[in-house]
Amino acid sequence: MTRVRDLSEEQILERIVPLLPRGSATLLGPGDDAAVLAAPDGRFVVSTDVLVEDRHFRTRWSTGYDVGRRAAAQNLADIAAMGARPTALVTSLVVPGDTELDWVTGLAIGLADGCAPVGAGAVGGDLSGGPFLVVSITVHGDLEGRPPVLRSGARPGDVVAHAGVRGWSAAGLALLEAGLVRTPLSTAPLEVTDGVLLEDAWERLVAAYLRPDPPLAAGVSAAQAGATAMLDLSDGLLRDAGRIARASGVRLDLDAGAFAKDRDALHSAARAVAAATGLGDPGWGPGTADIDGLVGRWVWGGGEDHGLLATFPAGTELPAGWTAVGRVQAVGEAGPAVTIGGEAPADQPGWDHFRA
Amino acid sequence: MTRVRDLSEEQILERIVPLLPRGSATLLGPGDDAAVLAAPDGRFVVSTDVLVEDRHFRTRWSTGYDVGRRAAAQNLADIAAMGARPTALVTSLVVPGDTELDWVTGLAIGLADGCAPVGAGAVGGDLSGGPFLVVSITVHGDLEGRPPVLRSGARPGDVVAHAGVRGWSAAGLALLEAGLVRTPLSTAPLEVTDGVLLEDAWERLVAAYLRPDPPLAAGVSAAQAGATAMLDLSDGLLRDAGRIARASGVRLDLDAGAFAKDRDALHSAARAVAAATGLGDPGWGPGTADIDGLVGRWVWGGGEDHGLLATFPAGTELPAGWTAVGRVQAVGEAGPAVTIGGEAPADQPGWDHFRA
């Protein structure tokens, strides 16, 4: 088994670089001091996101491939959320010397597969040793002549719409934490609680956590359809909806029933998690006393789904993949930035990297 | 004393973002899912570099400010080495919860000061907790209509030229390792060996290590003057010269005396380091048996000076800041990629992140 410390940096790069997609916007790829990318309309969009071992992934659950897919996906989603088409990313990787080379090449393949749906390139990076794994990605996109879709453009009367999954990632994490789904990297066989068998639905939820599949094309189509505001849902639906509300100076009133689409799969997972953990707290705060409550916490408070939330002028025909989930309202002097069916939601935790 | 774990991510960003320069190419700064940058000629240059605690810096020597300056400098140097003008950078920061907030704000000020000479912006980033410090920067630049200056364009007969310092960073690191220069973050008074006093020259060498000051303007001026190849000197002069040689299919013959400019300051440091360490090995391999040898290792093998090495057509009037240091020769079937005064150099260590 080859470990990264057995090879020089240049030897490792020789294994990685051929696995990476060039991308159609790449004028000069890896190998020089910098890459050169096309920016046909004279502007480009840029965003960066970092994944830290044991904060954003655990190697006992995530393969290198999973981490690559996830790192690509959550970065590409930030570009989509501006209404831009992702063009290329660069990667900084910190990797302990005893990491298997296969983990690193798997990460490269995961990056490539994450980029494939939008044809983005992986055009360079940096590699360093270190005591734990860190994957930092910076991603670029092309606005194709359109203005960027900011968080601040929502206006009273707009429709609130959603694309992507809701609550899946939090449910998948809870299933993993409860030991209910086996991952490739589990070192010991997981116990199957009460004889419950793996179900396809659970594996889909876990996959949504390990390697999210954001609705990247929906970002561009929303911009083309005239979206007034948009963001990537990374920290939980209510918390991120609040960001649009505050940036725009409005209130977002969400329909209580709009997110019930996956009720069956989420309830199946919630029942199993509650049984496996004795209805204890699977990481979403105290008071998860019933199944509906647990599902509600996943859907409204769960992070890292990487769907898109946007607002559109009333009467807009929503593009494929988008579902209307609420309305933008004028906000008074006070009151919550986000309501559910006109009511202030119960307090929901949101992800904070220093407090979670 | 405020530590980062005492604040939420948003509260920390509220302290950092106002410290960062906007930059003249920034169309949309921090606060949305992504930033928007101008790319007036329809292309942009991008590079990324990561700094890892205890690999690339040590908090007992480097303040947050130092690390910010250094991170900016070495990233900006990669853009300069393409002949481009740096426009903006984004930063991913991994920071343990017990880090002082002042360290993080110091880093932001260091980034800002590092960007100031070229007017680059700091337009966004990501912040995560983690068990040790990691600073990952991605930097962008504008080619202003020129072709990028690659490593592969050197031709026999070209002049080899250098801009920046040579050996200073390695000498500075050796002075720190020998305990001969006091830094702001030293937790105990350093012993001054044999009553040797601090000298300005030594502090300049240490500063070159802690917060390098690359010749950024020399990158653009070299491109304007018709440089045929160029790179940033990060891994040691001989090793990086070899990269131009191999990429271009030529040999670089360097003048033995061309790098003697700082002989006095480097010899002063080398004598002190040798005395303090009993002529032992300060990190540059065995056999450092004499002062000239130690200085030679710093100049020819020392990394992280972040000067620029370029080739120009014979007869080119070198721009300000550039010194001719050798000639490009045709390379035969075999033989070294780099020679010094026509001779193959003694084996020199180069920086490898998994072997150093």
Lowest mean pLDDT among B292-296, B332-336, B342-346: B332-336
Determine the pLDDT at residue A278: 72
Residues of B in contact with A43 (CB under 8 A): 27, 36-39
Shortest CA distance from B91: residue in chain A: A48
The pLDDT of A94-103, averaged and rounded, is 96
Determine the pLDDT at residue A351: 45
Question: Which of B87, B134, B138, B306 is most worth mutating to test chain A (most A CB atoms within 10 A of its CB)?
Answer: B138
Measured in angstroms, the CA of A190 and the nearest CA of chain B are apart by: 28
Measured in angstroms, the CA of B74 and the nearest CA of chain A are apart by: 11
| Nearest CB to A33 within list B8, B44, B231 | B231
Determine the pLDDT at residue B13: 93
Determine the pLDDT at residue A238: 95
Q: What are the helix and strand counts (H, E) for chain B? A: 9, 12
pLDDT at residue A73 is higher than 80 = yes
Contact assignment for A79 to B34 by CB distance below 8 Å: yes
Helix (H) or strand (E) holding A150: none
The pLDDT of B115-136, averaged and rounded, is 96
Work out the pLDDT band at B289, boundaries 50, 70, 90.
low
Determine the pLDDT at residue B10: 87
Cα–Cα distance, B14 to B32 (Å, whole number): 14
Nearest to B157 by CA among B317, B331, B307, B334: B331
Question: Is A42 in CB contact (< 8 Å) with chain B?
Answer: yes
Determine the pLDDT at residue A140: 98
Work out the pLDDT band at B35, boundaries 50, 70, 90.
very high
Cα–Cα distance, B259 to B265 (Å, whole number): 13
Determine the pLDDT at residue B42: 97
* Binding-face residues of A in 14-33 toward B, CB within 8 A: 27-28, 31-33
Comparing A15 with B332, the larger pLDDT belongs to A15
Measured in angstroms, the CA of B89 and the nearest CA of chain A are apart by: 9
Measured in angstroms, the CA of B49 and the nearest CA of chain A are apart by: 5
Residues of A in contact with B94 (CB under 8 A): 50, 52, 134
Question: Is B151 in CB contact (< 8 Å) with chain A?
Answer: yes
Residues of B in contact with A127 (CB under 8 A): 353
Determine the pLDDT at residue B185: 34
Residues of A in contact with B141 (CB under 8 A): 34
Measured in angstroms, the CA of A197 and the nearest CA of chain B are apart by: 36
Question: Is B79 in CB contact (< 8 Å) with chain A?
Answer: yes
Cα–Cα distance, A13 to B152 (Å, whole number): 19
For residue B181, CA distances in Å to B55, B196, B202, B328 come to 20, 10, 7, 39
Chain-wide mean pLDDT for chain B? 89
Domain map (residue ranges) of chain A: 4-142, 159-340
Fold for A159-340, please state it: Phosphoribosyl-aminoimidazole Synthetase; Chain A, domain 2 (3.90.650)
pLDDT at residue A62 is higher than 80 = yes
pLDDT at residue A131 is higher than 70 = yes
pLDDT at residue B53 is higher than 80 = yes
Cα–Cα distance, A107 to A16 (Å, whole number): 9
Contact assignment for A9 to B352 by CB distance below 8 Å: yes
pLDDT at residue A209 is higher than 50 = yes
Work out the pLDDT band at A27, boundaries 50, 70, 90.
very high
Determine the pLDDT at residue A69: 96
Work out the pLDDT band at B277, boundaries 50, 70, 90.
confident
Judge whether A275 and A191 are in contact, CB under 8 Å.
no
| Nearest CB to A140 within list B7, B46, B352 | B46
User: What DSSP string runs through A11-47?
Assistant: HHHHHHGGGS---TTEEE-BTBSSEEEE-TTSEEEEE
Residue type, B355: R
Per-residue burial over B126-153, b = 16 or more CB atoms within 10 Å of its CB, e = otherwise: bbbbbebbbbbbbbbbbbeebebbbbbb
DSSP A194: G
- The SS3 assignment for B249 reads coil
pLDDT at residue B348 is higher than 80 = no
pLDDT at residue A185 is higher than 70 = no
Shortest CA distance from B4: residue in chain A: A354
Cα–Cα distance, A251 to A248 (Å, whole number): 9
pLDDT at residue B92 is higher than 90 = yes
Determine the pLDDT at residue B338: 95
- pLDDT tens track for A140-159: 999 999 999 999 999 999 99
**Which residues, other chains included, contact B239 with Cβ-Cβ below 8 Å and sequence gap of 6+?**
B301, B348, B350, B351
Contact assignment for B45 to A32 by CB distance below 8 Å: no
- pLDDT tens track for B151-199: 999 999 999 999 999 999 999 999 999 998 887 633 333 344 433 434 4
The pLDDT of B308-337, averaged and rounded, is 93
Contact assignment for B150 to A49 by CB distance below 8 Å: no
Q: CATH number of the domain at B4-142, out of 3.30.1330.10, 3.40.50.1370, 3.30.540.10, 1.10.20.10?
A: 3.30.1330.10
* Binding-face residues of A in 275-304 toward B, CB within 8 A: none
Pairs of CB atoms within 8 A across A/B: 228
Residues of A in contact with B8 (CB under 8 A): 352, 354-355
pLDDT at residue A110 is higher than 80 = yes
In percent, how much of chain B has pLDDT > 90?
Answer: 75
The pLDDT of A328-342, averaged and rounded, is 88
The pLDDT of A286-305, averaged and rounded, is 82
Q: What's the sign of the alpha-carbon dihedral B1, B2, B3, B5? A: positive
Can you say which residues of B are annotated as belonging to the binding site for substrate? Answer: 56, 304, 351
Measured in angstroms, the CA of B166 and the nearest CA of chain A are apart by: 19
The pLDDT of A329-350, averaged and rounded, is 81
* Binding-face residues of A in 219-248 toward B, CB within 8 A: 230-232, 247
pLDDT at residue B96 is higher than 50 = yes
Cα–Cα distance, A159 to A71 (Å, whole number): 30
Determine the pLDDT at residue A339: 95
Nearest to B85 by CA among B221, B214, B213: B221
Residues of A in contact with B48 (CB under 8 A): 90-92, 124-126, 136, 138
Question: Which of B37, B136, B140, B306 is most worth mutating to test chain A (most A CB atoms within 10 A of its CB)?
Answer: B136
pLDDT at residue B354 is higher than 80 = no
Cα–Cα distance, B17 to A257 (Å, whole number): 38
Cα–Cα distance, B74 to B69 (Å, whole number): 9
Lowest mean pLDDT among A71-80, A161-170, A276-285, B154-163: A276-285
Question: Is B82 in CB contact (< 8 Å) with chain A?
Answer: yes
| Nearest CB to A55 within list B8, B130, B353 | B130
Work out the pLDDT band at B333, boundaries 50, 70, 90.
low
Per-residue burial over B271-287, b = 16 or more CB atoms within 10 Å of its CB, e = otherwise: ebbbebbeeeebebeee
Comparing B115 with A351, the larger pLDDT belongs to B115
